[in-house]
Amino acid sequence: MTNTAKASAVMEPPLLEVAQPAKRKKQLRGVSPISKIYENNKASSFTENMEQLQKSFDYASNADANWTYPELSLLYGSSIYEAASEAQKRALNHIYWVCFYNYVMGGEITTMVANQICCGAFYPIGGYEVVCHSLDLETSQERTHVEAFRNIGRVTEKALFGETIFERPMPNYLDASHTKPQVQGRGPLSKIPLMSLQSVLGQSPFVASQYFVARGLRNIQAKVKEYQHSAYGKELENAGKPVPAPTLISHNHCFDEGYHTATSKFISHEIYRDFKQPNAFEKLTVNAMVRSIQFSMNELSVTVPGIFSQDEQYFSTIYKMLQKPLFGMSSQEALNEMGKAYCQEHEGYHVAARYHARALAKNTEFVQDLDHLADFNRELKIMSTASIEKAIRANTAAFRRFRKKTVKAEGKSYRG
């Protein structure tokens, strides 16, 4: 190679589309719809809108309105919520938004890495470059999404409490995949199956394609709630009222995620047919992955109605929040009120159950035609074990432990 040739090669911009010859003619099922989704996603400006909105966010200008429907408020339906002033109810609605996205961002951080690992299995086959480009774009969008959620959350908490008490420390991709936003990190043993799964994802095109079943199930359950935030914004707009910035962020995120959900659907339901029949190990891995996703959706929360996670993780934070000047409770009042909110049935439990039923119905529709899934996965039998009775039973036992520990730690003697 001459010096001139070397110089021009350096000056040339790198080619992004390196088309590898497809090894089999029948491949590329589902690639054409993904090309379309990719082009539309690239042309859209939802991510950019989110970035602008979060950068110019100040709490005071958005404090006077709810950010989503009232039933999507922290502790909705409990006696704490019922006794709250209008300003306190709005604050509970705003903190709901913060906690909802603390929950959502776990999946987004996991996806940033899993998308890339799956490309490791798709790219070498040839013919799937556009799928990889589409997943690259999604990954960069997720970073902007997470930054927006974290920034709005931080500013809101500081304005309401003078400090951050619900903020989720930025997890790594393994810690992010567990769905208890207030719990830091996974135990070392629980990371081992996940690390093994990641290594299979990067090598088996079939298993990689079916990661998008798991992702799709999580996409759909989030969409069931986020669609409500977006619809609430639309209602405000139609009534000629200003739409708060966090509601607009939800609205834009809902649209970005619409592309991601469609991608999950095409990869998991169409592209997998291009690959050779899965062996027993691949089928087992996919079923284990979907089974574990089901376990992440078989709980109801009344702290954050609509998220599918245990309430116990929130006890210490709620206890702290109730003693902040915004609520001004004594420690005994806070414990008594929490006892009623968690251990007695109220409207919040029914709201939580309604969102779960909607997510279960949509998720069942999503997996019903995947024949390689075992019955307990295709019928989402584990997810469907969530119930009001189960949640009250778990909360009652957990709250008894929390109360005992708190009273002991504070050296006080409370009754109630």
Binding site for Fe ion (CB under 5 A): 108, 142, 145, 257, 260
Find the shortest distance in angstroms from Cβ 108 to Fe ion.
5
Nearer to Fe ion, 168 or 260 (CB): 260
What per-residue string of b and e applies to 75-89 under the rule 16 or more CB within 10 Å gives b? Answer: bbbbebbeebeeebb
Residues 6+ apart with CB under 8 A from 362: 220, 221, 223, 224
Residues 6+ apart with CB under 8 A from 3: none
Length of the chain: 416
Find the shortest distance in angstroms from Cβ 77 to Fe ion.
28
Nearer to Fe ion, 42 or 401 (CB): 42
CA separation for the pair 162, 179 (Å, rounded): 27
Nearer to Fe ion, 204 or 261 (CB): 261
Nearer to Fe ion, 257 or 311 (CB): 257
Tokens representing 282 are 């691949």
Where do the H-state alpha helices sit in 270-314? 280-295
Find the shortest distance in angstroms from Cβ 92 to Fe ion.
24
50 and 249 in contact (C-beta within 8 Å)?
Answer: yes
SS3 at position 13: coil
CA separation for the pair 344, 284 (Å, rounded): 41
Find the shortest distance in angstroms from Cβ 394 to Fe ion.
29
Nearer to Fe ion, 145 or 225 (CB): 145
Find the shortest distance in angstroms from Cβ 201 to Fe ion.
17
Find the shortest distance in angstroms from Cβ 100 to Fe ion.
13
End-to-end CA distance of the chain: 85
Find the shortest distance in angstroms from Cβ 250 to Fe ion.
11
Find the shortest distance in angstroms from Cβ 405 to Fe ion.
36
Maximum distance among all Cα pairs of the chain, rounded to whole angstroms: 88
266 and 293 in contact (C-beta within 8 Å)?
Answer: no
Written in H, E and C, the secondary structure of 91-160 is HHHHHHHHHHHHHHHHHHHHHHHHHHHHHHHHHHHCCCHHHHHHHHHHHHHHHHHHHHHHHHHHHHHHHH
Q: What is the DSSP string of 355-409?
A: HHHHHHHHHHHHHTT-TTS-HHHHTTTTGGG--HHHHHHHHHHHHHHHHHHHHHH
Nearer to Fe ion, 137 or 197 (CB): 137
Find the shortest distance in angstroms from Cβ 50 to Fe ion.
9
Nearer to Fe ion, 257 or 274 (CB): 257
What sign results for the dihedral spanned by CA atoms 316, 320, 326, 331? Answer: positive
Find the shortest distance in angstroms from Cβ 299 to Fe ion.
22
CA separation for the pair 12, 155 (Å, rounded): 44
Local structure of residue 218 (DSSP, 8 states) = H
Nearer to Fe ion, 257 or 299 (CB): 257
Nearer to Fe ion, 257 or 282 (CB): 257
Nearer to Fe ion, 259 or 315 (CB): 259
